[in-house]
Amino acid sequence: MAVFALAFIAHAYETAFAVRAPHLADSAQGNLRTKTFDYTRTEKVARVATAMMILGFILLFAGVIARGVSAGRVPWGNMYEFSITGALAFTTAYLGALRKYDLRWLGLFVSISVLLTLGTAVTVLYVPSAPLVPALKSAWLVIHVSTAIISGGIFLLANIIAGAFLFLDSMEKKGERAPWAKRLPSLDVLDQLSYRLVAFVFPLWTFSVIAGAIWAESAWGRYWGWDPKETWAFITWVAYAAYLHARVTVGWRGRRAAWLCIFAGSTFLFNYVYVNVWGTGKHTYSGL
């Protein structure tokens, strides 16, 4: 049973990889074609790419579910599981945002990051599925970890958009945008979009931290103990709070805001990678 589930997961990833690879090629080709303004063909390619993204999403979703079934619990017990779920959340955030905004230009970045995350997950972080240690056995696992992962996915999406803003901004400062970049949205749109993503997910992140505190109170006897993970969650929270204030009340826009957004996002990434793998403290569930 477990072996079957594992085989299935491996297969799901293989397919996900295979599915994403042509997507990369397609986007690249699509971008080249813009030179000739062959929009109909680009459009077709882009549609195929999106369809593959959705297929990848479904397979990844099935893979995460299968992992959960094989472990007999929610698949959020170690770093491998966090990573595959994080990749899923990230893909979901992209596809969700795609329904509302034309973000297909982002697909390239999204698929590369998902590919890298999954690659690291299967090669470096992989551990066989196993039951949870007693402290993790709580309904709060589902609430705390799922909200943290969703927040992370959206923070990173906002980060990539802020990065694209900086890149395109410096390109425009030097002169005109390169032909392939003309298709991308205007700087204003990017600026607004990354802000809106952060504003949308900041309450969720706050909730995730508070849910973690409630859980810590029942498992470890205190709701806040400046454990490295908690400290960095706090730093991320403060950084995004500063970002929101800087935008709403002080009126930061453009480059400065984008840098602050990227800084805040990197505190989140740092927390995820550094504290999980090399850090000490009570949040060392990476299984490595």
Q: Which chain residues interact with other proteins by CB under 8 A? A: 130-131, 133-135, 137-138, 140, 199-200, 202-203, 206-207, 210, 213-215, 217-228, 231-232, 234-235, 238-239, 241-242, 245-246, 248-250, 267, 275, 279-281
Q: Rounded distance, CA 125 to CA 78, Å?
A: 9
In whole angstroms, the minimum distance from the beta carbon of 67 to other proteins comes to 17
Q: Are 265 and 158 in contact (CB under 8 A)?
A: yes
Half-sphere exposure of 271 (CA within 13 A, CB side): 22
Q: For residues 13 and 215, which CB has a smaller minimum distance to other proteins in the complex?
A: 215
What are the distances in angstroms from CA 269 to CA 14, 107, 129, 178, 250? 26, 20, 24, 31, 26
In whole angstroms, the minimum distance from the beta carbon of 253 to other proteins comes to 10
Q: Rounded distance, CA 239 to CA 135, Å?
A: 29
In whole angstroms, the minimum distance from the beta carbon of 286 to other proteins comes to 13
In whole angstroms, the minimum distance from the beta carbon of 232 to other proteins comes to 6
How does 171-190 read in b/e, with b if 16+ C-beta sit within 10 Å? eeeeeeeeeebebbbebeeb
Q: Rounded distance, CA 98 to CA 52, Å?
A: 14
Q: For residues 182 and 222, which CB has a smaller minimum distance to other proteins in the complex?
A: 222
What is residue 75's DSSP assignment?
S
Q: For residues 4 and 220, which CB has a smaller minimum distance to other proteins in the complex?
A: 220
In whole angstroms, the minimum distance from the beta carbon of 221 to other proteins comes to 4
Q: Are 76 and 145 in contact (CB under 8 A)?
A: yes
Q: For residues 86 and 279, which CB has a smaller minimum distance to other proteins in the complex?
A: 279
Q: Are 261 and 162 in contact (CB under 8 A)?
A: yes
In degrees rounded to 5, what are phi and psi of residue 37? 55, 35
Q: For residues 107 and 228, which CB has a smaller minimum distance to other proteins in the complex?
A: 228
Q: For residues 26 and 227, which CB has a smaller minimum distance to other proteins in the complex?
A: 227
In whole angstroms, the minimum distance from the beta carbon of 119 to other proteins comes to 25
In whole angstroms, the minimum distance from the beta carbon of 219 to other proteins comes to 5
- Measured in whole angstroms, the distance separating CA 192 from the mean position of its chain's CA atoms is 19
Neighbours of 139 (CB within 10 A): 9
Q: Are 177 and 190 in contact (CB under 8 A)?
A: no
Q: For residues 182 and 245, which CB has a smaller minimum distance to other proteins in the complex?
A: 245
